[in-house]
Amino acid sequence: MTGNWSGFETYVKAMMEKEAIPGAAVAVSLHGETVYQQGFGVRSMATGEPVTPDTVFGIASVTKSFTALAIMQLAEEGKLSLDDPVTKHLPGFKLRTSGGMRSDGIRVRHLLSHTAGVPPLRRREELRRFAEHLDYLASEEMELLGAPGEYFSYCNDTFLLLGAIIERLTGRPFRTAIAERIMEPLQLSRSTFSLEELAAWDNVSVPYVKRGGTRTLDEVPWPKLGNYEAGGGIRSTVRDLLKYGQIYVNDAGSSNGRSVARSESLRQMREPIHRIGRNVFYGCALRIIPDYSGVTLVEHGGGQPGVSSYFGFVPERGLVAAVLTNVANVPANELWLAAVNTALGFPLGQKSSVEPTYEASPEELLRLTGAYRSAEGGSVDIVLEGHSPVAVIDGKVFALRASDDRTLVIAESGYPIQIFFKDEPKAWAAFYGSRMLKRVNE
């Protein structure tokens, strides 16, 4: 059941060499027992200090499930319902659209599942109070993607409103509420939002980014996220994440003997709300693959300057796994799945989703071309080189193949790009990186 970890380690080292990953930590538990934990590489290239399972990394958007869990706790306490209008708890919530001010129909559930209909927005990390973000949403003109619940598109600016709801209903600052309700009961002693606290700790990773898409690494400071910390601000260790993940695979919703939520609330978090891929769904701050060789994968990743993270669990097997690295834009998800495969005795390189092959006609391919953009900065250009589609993403060119008449797949990674149409024959939007990028005329 615990698999071939020497083969896994060979895989990790090859991936780190290929992707220029300075340091990584991996940990896996089964039924509450740690079956594997290991540090790879260095936490600091300057000092050469090694990564250990207690090295602190950013976890980025893995934070989102902590915030969602706090919302579920408040629902258990009768302080809110997931079907409440957001305005019930945040009366100042309004969106400025070309058709006027809007907030109708957007419920707490839509914030949790990124289905509010709000496109990716210009980041405002200098905003540090949630009231300032409500003002921002009321002043930044946007075109909604559709009605609430119609489309999934990752939106940090609406997700962070859950932090505002937590503050309002608990009467505690957001950080304090998460610490008191989740971190302290679960004894997550190496987890924090605070950069000041981080600076006083030892065994902390140094964040790196790749220079201009090359393998050259530049050290960067920890990002100051402002309000976005509600969806991405925790720094933690793989050992702490195993403790945290244990609540999702225990029937009692507890870890270290402390109950933090009812098991039905935790199950509700992993119930599919919106399909986001061929066999992939999104729930409450968690991605769900319902049938992976007979088991369920529940997972979430994160990325920031200096962070690529992945965390998740397999409820039927009592498995929890976490992977943390100290460099942005590397495939922590592939390392995570390889660890899960190893623990379950599956083939090391087995994929969670494989796109089929489809022979698209020239006319079908032409319909998918275009320049797709978001205000957050996302950019995908799909063009034809001869009769072959390619994507230009962040200045890099990727060969594509079709998997159906509306989906193109990056050939090297197998990652799909879904193209959406509305009323016109031309494409309306591309779904890439969990975000809807609208087609622009160029």
Output the pLDDT for position 2.
67
Widest Cα–Cα separation across the chain: 62
R_g of the chain computed on alpha carbons: 21
Other Cβ atoms closer than 10 A to 392? 14
**134-176 pLDDT, tens digit each:** 999 999 999 999 999 999 999 999 999 999 999 999 999 999 9
Q: What are phi and psi of 320, to 5 degrees?
A: -130, 140
Other Cβ atoms closer than 10 A to 49? 17
CA distance 93 to 116: 13
pTM confidence score: 0.96
Output the pLDDT for position 214.
79
Output the pLDDT for position 368.
95
Residues in the chain, pLDDT under 70 = 1-2, 252-257, 442
**216-251 pLDDT, tens digit each:** 999 999 999 999 999 999 999 999 999 999 999 987
Sign of the CA dihedral with 99 first, then 105, 108, and 114 last = negative
- Residue 192: C-alpha distances to residues 21, 160, 233, 307 (Å): 24, 17, 8, 15
